[in-house]
Structure 1
Amino acid sequence: MAIAVRDIVPFSTARTHLSDLVLEVQNGAEKIITKNGEPAVAVIDAKRLDHYHRLEHARIHLLLLEEVDQGLADVKAGRTVDAKAGINALKQARKAARGRAAG
């Protein structure tokens, strides 16, 4: 949804007309509050914010599922490392990194 010029509101106007602003947002508008002429915050309906949070949560789950698929493909293709060997390699890498940072 594109933001119209009427949806860009200076902070001083938002402060003096907060009730009107809230009603507009509850009726579907999205507002950008500016401070010193620069965008400062966005005002959106709480239900829409909840929806955005749920979308982000779903996106994270999809990314995790993609990583699981990649891991299963690696196992199937034989691209695995023994757990002890992998942990030892990580420890060695950390030790080397600490040595470079200290030196």
Structure 2
Amino acid sequence: MGYISEDIVPLGQIRARFSELAEEVQNGREKIITRNGESYVALIDARKLDYYHRLEQEHIHLLLLDEAVKGLDDVEQQRTITLEDFRHKHGR
């Protein structure tokens, strides 16, 4: 999603315009809040934030599954070490 100039709001304007901005966000326009001319935080719909969090969790699960598959491939290819060798190598 692209941003237009109206979506970039200085931090100092938030208090005076919060209700207006919240309504715009509820209608699909995310806002970038700036501080000293730099991006600071974003104002987004709570449902979209929940969706982003679920996507992040799904991504983490996919990475873990990928690592599990790599581990199984290592076992199949006999690319393993003993627990004793592991402890010696990693000091545990």
TM-score of the alignment, normalized to the shorter chain, above 0.5: yes
- 1:42 counterpart residue number: 42
The share of aligned pairs that are identical, in percent, is 51
Q: Which moved more, 1:18-27 or 1:81-90?
A: 81-90
The TM-score, its normalising length taken from structure 1, stands at: 0.83
Q: Which runs of 4+ in 1 moved over 6 A?
A: none
Alignment size in residue pairs? 92
Q: Which runs of 5 or more structure 2 residues have no equivalent in the other structure? A: none
Give, in angstroms, the shift of residue 82 of structure 1: 0.9
- 1:86 counterpart residue number: 86
Q: Deviations over 1:25-58 (max 9, x none)?
A: 1111100111222211111011101100100000
Distance 2:39 2:85 in 1: 52
Within-5 A mapping of 1:1-103: 1-91=1-91
Q: Which runs of 5 or more structure 1 residues have no equivalent in the other structure? A: 95-103
Secondary structure at the counterpart of residue 78 of structure 2: coil
RMSD over aligned Cα atoms: 1.2
Which has the larger Rg? Answer: 1
Distance 2:39 2:82 in 1: 52
The TM-score, its normalising length taken from structure 2, stands at: 0.93
